[in-house]
Amino acid sequence: MIALLLAQTIAITGGTVYPVSGPKLEHATVLMQKGRIAAVGTASTRPASG
């Protein structure tokens, strides 16, 4: 099961992200690839799923 999750690209959308540095991001998208965060952005800066 873990290998199946790590092999997928997952986008978590519509949440509030509190980055370590910088202001909070409302209605953000977090893109995960290979079990790691690949990108974080808002609707206007939505990460590409390369």
Could you report the per-residue pLDDT of 8-32, keeping only the tens digit for each? 888 999 999 999 998 999 999 999 9
- The pLDDT of residue 48 is 61
Which residues are within 8 A (CB) of 49 and not within 5 positions of it... i.e. 6 or more apart? 9, 11, 31
The two tokens of residue 17 are: 């992200």
Contact 5, 35 (CB under 8 A): yes
Question: What is d(CA 14, CA 12) in angstroms, rounded to the nearest whole number?
Answer: 7
- Return the closest-CA partner of residue 40 out of 6, 7, 5, 16: 16
Contact 42, 28 (CB under 8 A): yes
pLDDT beyond 60 at 44: no
* pTM, two decimal places: 0.69
Comparing 17 with 35, which gets the higher pLDDT? 17
